[in-house]
Amino acid sequence: MNLPGYDAKRVTSLTAVDISEGMLTQARKRAQGLGFNDGSDDARNDDDRVSLRVRFAVADAEALPFPDNSFDCVVDTFSLCVFSDPSAALKEVARVLKPDGKALLVEHTRSRTVPLLGSYQDLVAGPVTKMSKGCAWNQDVEAMASRSGLNVVSAEPSLFGLLTTLEARKA
């Protein structure tokens, strides 16, 4: 879903990761529809703009198959809530980031903006997780990031604190 947000003038290459080959197949189709290439060359699209190179990899976010210090930026949207060990995934983010790299996250989080809403999230977390493909919507993403070797630069709540947009750097 994020592919349309990448600007080929600012992003030279992208590695898309999912544990599901089926999801990567859908992502490949979307990337082709956007004029991105398969990562094999510096292809140009029909209107002579450089096409974004996208590489697709089946991988478990909790054990990424990339060397330390591999990426300038890691983007994660709405997935920490479904990982069995989101802290392990965030430790992997910290591991694969280059020393000056950054992590950009948009995630479900426990509301601190509206404390009563946060209490409600805790109260219904079990049923919500069961009904939503395992999504734990009341995690403290900022605290998890800090404990995982990332320095949180900014954390912006939205939707009454149910979502957070977080930028972090390698600790």
pLDDT of residue 48: 44
Question: What pLDDT does residue 38 have?
Answer: 63
Cα–Cα distance between 61 and 68 in angstroms, integer? 14
- H/E/C letters for each residue in the chain? CCHHHCCCCCCCEEEEEECCHHHHHHHHHHHHHCCCECCCCCCECCCCCECCEEEEEECECCECCCCCCCEEEEEEECCHHHCCCHHHHHHHHHHHEEEEEEEEEEEECCCCCCHHHHHHHHHHHHHHHHHCCCCCCCCCHHHHHHHCCEEEEEEEEECCCCEEEEEEEEC
**What's residue 166's pLDDT?**
94
Neighbours of 36 (CB within 10 A): 22
The domains located in the chain, with CATH, are 1-59 (no CATH), 66-171 (3.40.50.150)
User: In this structure, what token pair is assigned to residue 83?
Assistant: 């990982």
Those residues whose C-beta lies under 8 Å from the C-beta of residue 137, and which sit 6 or more positions away, are 81, 108, 109, 110, 121, 125, 128, 129, 162
Radius of gyration of the chain (CA): 17
Structure tokens at 148: 């995982």
pLDDT for res 39? 53
Average pLDDT along the chain, 171 residues, taken 10 residues at a time:
81 88 89 72 46 87 95 92 91 95 93 89 84 82 92 93 92 79
> Beta partners for 86?
none
